[in-house]
Each structure stands twice: as structure tokens, then as C-alpha cells.
Structure 1
Amino acid sequence: MKARLQDALAQLPGAQGERFRRVLAHGSMSVEIYAPQGTDPQQPHAQDELYFIVSGRGMFHSGGERHPVGPGDCLFVPAGREHRFEEFSNDFVTWVVFWGPPGGEGAIA
């Protein structure tokens, strides 16, 4: 399996104006491209996730903390945690990887 950035970006926005698109999936793992515009309306997700910042800059809010982010940064968000990107540039793009069971790997006994 392979996902190319150019091909993923060409699928945005989606038919309903979505700023994300799933580009790979296998088992519990899925990979999306995400390029919010203006605001980041996402809600907490059921799975653990990783973000790999491709382009642009901004602030990442998660768990009551804020961190500056830019190209090359990798961020982890456990399942169920509120998070969002803020004050991001117009060229902001990130890969998002979701995996594991609902509730995250910490939910596995």
C-alpha cells in the first residue's frame, strides 16, 4: 500500500466540503490527510492517533496544553482526548494515523 501526498491533496475538499480524506486502511489502522481551513472543528476520536505535520505552522491544543507545530513534527493523541489545531497557516496539512481498539490501546486489559 502507498499513499502519495499529491494524490491525497487532490481529493480535498470532499463532496460535502470535508477537509479530510481516508487514503489507506488495514485492519484497525487508517491514514487520512487533513487540511483544515479557518477553524479545526474535530471532536475527540475513539482510537489513538498520530499526526505528522507536512506543511504550515500552528498551535496544537491537547489535554490543556498548547504547543507550536510545524513541518516534521509528530504528535500523539490518546483516544477520547479533546484536541485541535489553532492559529494555523493557510497551507497547514497533516497526515493522521488512527489505530487500535475503541478507547485506545490503554483500554486493553
Structure 2
Amino acid sequence: MVNMSKRAIITIAMVFLATGLIGGYLIPRPVDTGEIQPQLINVEDRYRQPFENRFGFQAEFTTVASVPTGSVQLFRFDEIDSNQHPDENHFLYFLEGRATGNIGGVQSDIGPGTLLIVPADVPYSFRKVGDEPVNFILFSSPPFE
């Protein structure tokens, strides 16, 4: 695994964020003009409930909010094989557990409090380290499919 300085990781994250935001802004999408209602979700309580979907063999998720321009899912995984989404910009906020990740060819250790930005069409993969569950919140624009 490549050891990177904190400054290099922050720089890479900022480049991914800028790329995702610019790409998300420039790609035209039809948007439902329906009214978006406020929602309040207790994430801790929601993690105690069963998840509704499987992602591969070693990951599960549930959608907690979705609007025409984006969605929020709660994920738990042991491993997420190499994957990419051609149209979705992803923002992953890790709540608990430790993992290693490869995002666009950049290797990194991931733990609680880590925010990862994965722009559309950038490959990524994750593998749990240790016994503690790895839980993260996925913010996706447009909605995760």
C-alpha cells in the first residue's frame, strides 16, 4: 500500500470533489419539478433495522432518501469489488469500521470520519480491515441505481 501524506490525500480529494461538482453541473438531467419534502432520518436507528438490498456478495444497503436530483443510502460491507458508475457522483462518509480502498488507482486507508469523493465513471473498490462492521453513508447525484 502506498503511504501518502495528509496533504496529498486532501489535494486528491479536492480534485475529485471539483471534478464531481463540475461534471454534475455540466451534465444536463431532466429534473422533476415536484415539491421536495423535508425529511428527518435518525441514522443510528436506521442502521439497527434490516437492510433492503444486496450489493454483490459482501455488501448491503438501504435507501433512506431519494429525490430527482440525488439520493442517500446507508451501506455496510466486508468487501466491494471493483465498480464504477458512469453517471453518478458519489460522496461517501464513513461512520465506523476500517477498510482499505482504491479510488481511481489511489490506495488509501479508510476509517471513521473519512469523506471520499468518487466522481462519475471513476473505478473504486473497498475491503474491510478487522472485525468491526464498516458502515458509511452514500450521497449520490443523480440518485444511486
| TM-score computed with the length of structure 2 as normaliser | 0.60
Higher helix share: 2
Alignment CA distance shift 1:15-1:64 (3 Å): closer
The Cα offsets for residues 17-66 of structure 1, whole Å up to 9 and x where unpaired, read as 860111011222100001013x2136212210100000001112111111
Residue 96 of structure 1 pairs with residue 138 of structure 2: yes
In 1, the alpha carbon distance for the partners of 2:104 and 2:93 equals: 18
Task: Map 1:54-73 onto structure 2 (within 5 A).
Answer: 54-73=95-114
Quick one: distance in 1 between partners of 2:133 and 2:93?
14
Q: What's 2:90 paired with?
A: 49
- Percent identical pairs in the alignment equals 19
TM-score by length of 1: 0.77
The question of whether the paired residues in 2 share the 8 Å contact of 1:2 and 1:24 is answered with no
Q: 2:104 aligned with 1:40, yes or no?
A: no
User: Which of 108, 114, 117 is the aligned partner of 1:76?
Assistant: 117
1:2/1:88 CA distance change after superposition, 3 Å: farther
Give the SS at the match of 1:35: strand
In structure 2, do the counterparts of structure 1 residues 76 and 15 end up closer, same or farther at CA, with 3 Å as the change threshold?
A: closer
Structure 1, unmatched stretches of 5+, are 102-109
Q: Distance in 2 between matches of 1:54 and 1:30?
A: 18
Moved over 3 A (4+): 15-18, 87-90
Q: Work out whether 1:4 is the aligned partner of 2:42.
A: yes
Aligned pair count reads 99
